[in-house]
Amino acid sequence: MMKKGKMASKGIAIGNVRTMEHKEITVEDKQCDDVGASLKKLNEALEKSTQDLEKIRDNAEQSMGSEHAEIFDAHIQMVNDPEMKGQVEAMIEGEKLCADNAYNKVANQFIDIFSNMEDEYFKERAADIKDIRTRVLTYLQGKTPNDPSLIDKDTIIVAHDLTPSDTASLNLEYVKGFITEVGGLTSHTAIMARALGIPAIVGAQGALEDVNDGDTLALDAIDHNVYVNPDDATLEKMQDKLSAYKTYLETLNKFKDKETLTKDGVKVPLFANLGSPKELQGVTENGAEGIGLFRTEFLFMESDSQPDEATQIEAYKEVFETVQPVIVRTLDIGGDKNIPYIKQPKEDNPFLGKRAIRLCFDEIELFKTQLRALLIAAKDQKNVRIMLPMVAVVSEVRRAKSIVEEVQKELDAENITYQKNIDIGIMIEIPSAALNAKALAEEVDFFSIGSNDLIQYLFAADRMNEHVSYLYEPYDPTLLRLMHTALEAAHEAGIDIGVCGEIAGQLDLALVLAGMGMDELSMSPSSILEIRKTLSKLNSKALQTLTKDVLNAKEASEVKTIIKQFKDDNL
């Protein structure tokens, strides 16, 4: 049994271990005398790679649509390209190179050719060949590609870390849980796990040393236990616990189609955070009253080239037509989220550098294309709102609004129908924005507090750095008072304010935020029903008293004590 890390998403999972490590493939420059064996190895590797890509294509078509699947059709064609294969065979036969050595040389030649072309489309094909090269070389060296999209049985992923592209390709029908060696409660892996209701433990240092592929693993992300190859008695106990947890979740379902109301009838709308249209099922199944944060990065990170206007319109419409209202965050790239086809400078402090709205101002055509797509996709929807991330000063809001107006004029000139009465808001996630909320409120239609970044910027503590994790403290009254300052400014100006950071989905802090008077709370869908049920048992005046006591506290430990006492007295 290992007991490490932090519980990032609650639940129970049982499955086989699948380890994921990103290791560079090394190829020795050597010869092999058995030409026949090398040619056979090449053909087998190409055949296996083709089979993999066909499965990935089918999964992509089912989960993301035919347009995304077409990418893998192109990959299949490249794997079987007769010119490339012919050159590899010639090197094996003429120079007696080992199959992996020959394939690597030919693939690198093609990568260099495409990389040096002026046409952007052909330049982007170099990335496709790199991806294919890795898969084929893995098979040529007698290994199996660690491709999460090919998982076809109940599995628990154990990894050093999971990148956004890793998580985007997971077969969510079979992945039952995550354990990562790094990351905190607001890492992308943790956020995704909560969004999908998948049990997860993060920051479990040395986890990869404790398991092997195929091990049976029971993940208890309720009592914080992980059992590797448990004995029959322990496995039976965990299966019973899993069954009991499923029963508990079923008891919450009676709150699915209800409004979120306190015991005395005060509304506290609970919205969902959404990472991509693939998560819409979880949003509807958990009875979200809207989308409080629609992250649009998924479109840009799942593709090897910038999605065009039509592609974006299709994806946004899928969300807008399923749930209302929707708050859409414009592209938030930078920091720990990078896209290879968008040029970004190497920065010593990327979280303090060119990211989010700052990057969009530099990549103006990318920004305008997204705004066009959003406005067109929302043409029949009156409850779509556009939210700008990482706003620090008033001038940034004014500049963004002027770009929106410019896009609207272009659409008018082209006689294209779009939503003309769309609200523009900002995320409050930089202390300067919270402290200057009064001035910012005069410029926008709404606020939404992004607590994940607000905490790390307020305390100068990287939220991914375990060495300063003690400073990343959402219960600190300094943070809560700063949020209250932004709320007062918003309500004084007559605009709405919500919270879309991860703290909104933590039951204890959700009670404080409800008592504070937030107009909506947006969270991972899996958190909604438990919070809705709890709020239904509490009076709004009691929640207001709780918040008042918390705002007068001096430190996080005192806040936790106040909340615990409140729950003991009222629940």
Supply the pLDDT for residue 61.
Answer: 67
pLDDT digits (tens, 9 = 90+) for 543-570: 999 999 999 999 999 999 999 999 999 9
Closest-CA residue to 316 (of 331, 297, 296, 300): 296
Supply the pLDDT for residue 189.
Answer: 73
pLDDT band per the 50, 70, 90 thresholds, residue 364: very high
Supply the pLDDT for residue 336.
Answer: 61
Strands 12-20 and 216-220: antiparallel
H-assigned helices in 171-231: 188-196, 207-210
| pLDDT exceeds 90 at position 198 | no
pLDDT band per the 50, 70, 90 thresholds, residue 242: very high
Q: Can you read off the two tokens belonging to residue 119? A: 């046409």
Supply the pLDDT for residue 337.
Answer: 64
**How does the average pLDDT of the chain come out, rounded?**
89
Same fold, 35-140 and 256-570: no
Secondary structure letter of residue 6 according to DSSP: E
Please report, rounded to a whole number, the percentage of residues in the chain having pLDDT higher than 70. 91
Closest-CA residue to 544 (of 262, 341, 313, 327): 262
Q: Can you read off the two tokens belonging to residue 566? A: 């409140």
State the CB neighbour count (10 A cutoff) for residue 501. 27
pLDDT (mean) for 365-386: 96
Catalytic residues: 188, 500
pLDDT band per the 50, 70, 90 thresholds, residue 149: low
Lowest mean pLDDT among 295-309, 356-370, 431-445, 528-542: 295-309
Q: What is the Cα–Cα distance from 164 to 162, expressed in whole angstroms?
A: 7
CATH number of 35-140: 1.10.274.10
Closest-CA residue to 481 (of 516, 446, 452, 505): 516
Residue ranges covered by each domain of the chain: 6-21+150-249, 35-140, 256-570
Supply the pLDDT for residue 188.
Answer: 67
Lowest mean pLDDT among 47-56, 250-259, 284-293, 442-451: 47-56
Secondary structure letter of residue 538 according to DSSP: S
| pLDDT exceeds 60 at position 168 | no
Supply the pLDDT for residue 123.
Answer: 64
pTM of the model: 0.72
């790199």: which residue's tokens?
130
Q: What is the Cα–Cα distance from 294 to 141, expressed in whole angstroms?
A: 42
pLDDT digits (tens, 9 = 90+) for 466-522: 678 788 899 999 999 999 999 999 999 999 999 998 899 999 999 999 999 999 999
CATH number of 256-570: 3.20.20.60
pLDDT (mean) for 335-347: 70
Q: Can you read off the two tokens belonging to residue 269? A: 């709308």
| pLDDT exceeds 90 at position 376 | yes
Lowest mean pLDDT among 277-286, 439-448, 531-540: 277-286
CATH class of segment(s) 6-21+150-249: alpha beta
- What sign for the dihedral angle of Cα 433, 438, 443, 444? positive
Supply the pLDDT for residue 69.
Answer: 63
Question: What single-letter amino acid sits at 89?
Answer: E
> Which carries the bigger pLDDT value, residue 287 or residue 119?
287
Strands 225-228 and 216-220: antiparallel
Q: What is the Cα–Cα distance from 248 to 230, expressed in whole angstroms?
A: 24
pLDDT (mean) for 528-551: 97
State the CB neighbour count (10 A cutoff) for residue 167. 23
């947006």: which residue's tokens?
522
Q: What is the Cα–Cα distance from 488 to 194, expressed in whole angstroms?
A: 30
Lowest mean pLDDT among 276-290, 309-323, 476-490: 276-290
Lowest mean pLDDT among 135-144, 223-232, 385-394, 432-441: 135-144
H-assigned helices in 197-231: 207-210
